[in-house]
Amino acid sequence: MTYKLNLEKASDKITNTIDKLLNKHSGSVLVATNKENIYKLCFGYADIARKIPVSMDTQFLAGSVTKQFTAVAILKALLDKNINKNDPTKLKKHIESELNNTIEYYLPAEHEIWNGSMPVWANTVTIHQLLVHSSGITNYTSLPDFEKQKFPKNSDLIAFFKDYELEFTPGEKFSYSNSGYYLLGMIIQQVTQQDLDVYLEKTFFEPLEMRSTFLPTQGTVDDLIRSDTRFPNLARGYQYEITKQDANLEEINRYESMEVPGAAGSLISTAEDLLKWNNALYAEEIIPKFLLELILKPYLVTERANAYYGYGIEIMKSDAFGEYYSHRGGIPGFRSILTFIPTLQISIITLQNIVENQELLAPEIEKIKASLPQTLSKEESSLELVKIIESKYPTIVENRNCYEFGPIYDAIIKTLEWLCI
């Protein structure tokens, strides 16, 4: 089922909604069908010190939006190496079988990535479980002292988390793990015999004319701006103190080096390039329908209410316009949301280069976490934590409304729902 929206009415309503919410925001917002824009505007500065405003050419770190590119890449790689291309039934069965292979099948014990010591879980955890975050592998970005580490080689990063025991039996439940997607990047390289950044560029970015989109494999934002000609329009990232009223913006004090997030979060792109990706992906121009269906299948409920995880994409549901697909990204200095609503054939893309700084609040957050009842679920604990913190510091909500695109995105969704009723 599809809805026929009056696009002029939708544009007016969304514009009026966003105008009421705009404050000190910085970034790009794009709402569009595959044929025309409904809303397209940029705000703030890509570089405050040099007074360079954000434009549609501005490149942003997309964080975990990268994961859907990784998911599509592993399926595309398995498709291209398969010998049953002329028999769709056999092809589907074969790829599904390959997704149930273990990590060891693609990255055997002698592979350099293990540095002579493959973890036991590599012969238990499957590719499917990596894709849906049900592997039980420890999330390396949540480990103590993660921010103090340096990882000159892929094997160094994997060594940082590989010796931890699985947190639960693989397939038992959903638990978000960047480690799983980092490993998927290594598997794509093994299957394609190409570096991941090169494979994505040749297979996706160049054919789709996503000329501002890349997956850098080293260097920070500073390094890329200074010495990489692919990033002439890369934004800098800024932060505000979350509990201060009228907080000043400061450039973040630590950019992530791009070898660290890898296939889990190193993508850099623009709003218009991400629209090209959405249009091609959901039109089955990148992978065939049966593989797209694998990606969009709601395998496991996530840690968010009424949200399910497919392959690198969250599946949500609206009472007004039905099922839709989305993913958020967060990396120091940047936030992103990429959404597609099939019944409306509408994409929503938000990219921002302002984030909250919770550093001063971190000790208090840890104390509150420790005091919460152990009987609460993960989701209940998170909700209770937010309730306690926001009641004590009302400026948190004020600042988020002032700087973050999250409330604007939520308002766009509600506006589209209202237009469908």
Could you tell me which residues come within 8 angstroms of residue 310 by beta carbon, excluding any fewer than 6 positions away? 71, 132, 294, 295, 296, 297, 298, 299, 325
What's the confidence (pLDDT) of residue 85?
67
The predicted model gives 276-302 an average pLDDT of 96
Rounded Cα–Cα distance for residues 202 and 196 (Å) = 10
pLDDT at 13 over 70: yes
Regarding beta strands 238-241 and 354-357, do their DSSP bridges make them parallel or antiparallel, or are they unpaired?
Answer: parallel
pLDDT at 3 over 80: no
The predicted model gives 370-375 an average pLDDT of 88
What's the confidence (pLDDT) of residue 382?
82
Cα angle, residue 10 at apex, residues 277 and 330 outer, rounded to 5°: 40
Residue 177's pLDDT band, with cuts at 50, 70 and 90, is: very high
The answer to pTM > 0.85 is yes
pLDDT tens, position by position, 247-264 = 889 999 999 999 999 999
Tokens of 24: 């000190």
Phi and psi at residue 337, to the nearest 5° = -140, 130
| Mean per-residue pLDDT over the chain, rounded | 94
Rounded Cα–Cα distance for residues 416 and 421 (Å) = 9
Alpha helix positions (H), 175-332: 178-192, 196-200, 221-227, 271-282, 289-295
Are the C-beta atoms of residues 140 and 178 closer than 8 Å to each other?
yes
Tokens of 317: 């549901």
Tokens of 226: 């200074």
pLDDT tens, position by position, 315-327 = 999 999 999 999 9
The predicted model gives 284-301 an average pLDDT of 96
Cα angle, residue 77 at apex, residues 234 and 203 outer, rounded to 5°: 40
Residue 89's pLDDT band, with cuts at 50, 70 and 90, is: confident
What's the confidence (pLDDT) of residue 1?
62
The predicted model gives 159-165 an average pLDDT of 94
